[in-house]
Structure 1
């Protein structure tokens, strides 16, 4: 890891974190002639009746309902639906501004998605190019672009594996061997202490708890509709900060994130100074000194 240019990684949920509702609600469900309540009730009911993982249940329901109505359901049709996503205020400008601030503090900022939604829809959104990697549920497609099998599913607890992938720099989901290989803490690409997870509710709690346990930061954003639930997360010590879902420059969210980047940049410089002093006197850098600050 380049100690002259430490990495600060922002990990985001997508639905109701960067956009205003579930991504399927914008274009996919209206094309079925259903309301979101009707679709999700059917998908969840199917899952419960068949003792099926909820993510697999909604992916299957998407295919089934589209086929019953003879509607196109391909990789490209899903990407087109991403154009209808409505982002929270300031989201489009957020990434460039935070990247530039990181540069001013001597750190490299990276952005990742960890979502139970569909990768294909996210890829069609206006911000898809901002992310180093998008981890989201995804179909495997045949030569005609039609889904034939789930390629990846990201349920709430499975989200945590992708935090470890980012930590070690093993981003290829097919590479489990390297992910599980032993690796010294000081050789990991992004220390947990340099991570910020941003979500909106209970589905993000496993990742938020990881952040708090390993020295990263957890932030929950809210709309009025979920404000009480997010306040409960703060009261129970499951997140570090909560803010309205407004990413505009000068908001409390913007200012706090910049303070977090400052803190992480300073901690990294102090760590390097400590290591240099130890090496100067011939001392060893002990495992428990990694991430000391």
Structure 2
């Protein structure tokens, strides 16, 4: 029998790492401070009425070109190696996976980020994710970044939640994504999803979780605690915790409790189906028990 799947969906910047991922190495390599670079990118976007993420990706290419640099994948991946992850992040995935296994469920991890996939690939934890949905460049024959391949902005993040729900993970496959599919055949029910983010950019996904029976968690550092408290007070998230992923923290204990609740719900549903099938075959339903 196939194990139920529970999916944890994460933003990345300020959720798994301490600041915008471009700030660690890419921006300093161009000789800018983060404030200078983001001001330049945001001003360019406003002046041209441009999606903010496309504006920053264009600015990355334009600034490299102006300095005689070629923006290549390997350089961006290398920039990811300077990333500072929150305490416990590197050990988090294995521990949570093992906990799910002990309850008879499979835990999967996904990234939904407005940062760069290439930088995430250099973070040392990219292998932990079943899929990384993040902004990404297309590279020409010489290996130079020349066009945005994927733009994951605040609102279109929700399409990737649907992809995970249906198991249609290929971003080029829109037909299957839009095909009608019975709820009981969807790979990961919304009720088996947990979204972890840090602020307003995550609200559309958090709202989906709360509307469809999943769970939404906001993590914070001291600098954004007030904003996260506002999300909780306004009912936009279910829980808030410091961004500390070590064993025994409030975040760790609560996520394990949510997984336990989801596993019990799945087991009860499976037992109900089993008993109905038994009746349909003229059998007397027995007692299977949870997690047997």
Q: Given the two structures, how large is their TM-score scaled by the length of structure 2?
A: 0.95
**For residues 214 and 75 of structure 1, what CA distance do their matches in structure 2 show?**
37
Deviations 1:193-248 (A, max 9, x none): 00000000000000000000000000000000100000000000000000000000
Aligned to 1:77: 75
Aligned to 2:279: 281
Aligned to 1:12: 10
Is 2:108 aligned against 1:110? yes
The equivalent position to 2:161 in structure 1, one of 159, 163, 180, is 163
| Cα distance, 1:69 vs structure 2 | 1.4
Q: What 5-or-longer segments of structure 2 have no aligned partner?
A: 282-292
Q: How does 1:115-194 map to 2 (within 5 A)?
A: 115-194=113-192
Is 2:20 aligned against 1:22? yes
**For residues 145 and 257 of structure 1, what CA distance do their matches in structure 2 show?**
41
**For residues 6 and 102 of structure 2, what CA distance do their matches in structure 1 show?**
13
Aligned to 1:229: 227
- The answer on whether the counterparts of 2:61 and 2:146 sit within 8 Å (CA) in structure 1 is no
Aligned to 1:245: 243
| Cα distance, 1:279 vs structure 2 | 2.5
**For residues 50 and 149 of structure 2, what CA distance do their matches in structure 1 show?**
16
**For residues 182 and 121 of structure 1, what CA distance do their matches in structure 2 show?**
35
Is 2:251 aligned against 1:259? no
Aligned to 1:291: none
Deviations 1:114-171 (A, max 9, x none): 0011100001111011000000010110122111111110000000000000000000
Q: Given the two structures, how large is their TM-score scaled by the length of structure 1?
A: 0.94
Aligned to 1:88: 86
Aligned to 2:31: 33
Q: What 5-or-longer segments of structure 1 have no aligned partner?
A: 284-293
**For residues 100 and 277 of structure 1, what CA distance do their matches in structure 2 show?**
29
- The answer on whether the counterparts of 2:100 and 2:106 sit within 8 Å (CA) in structure 1 is yes
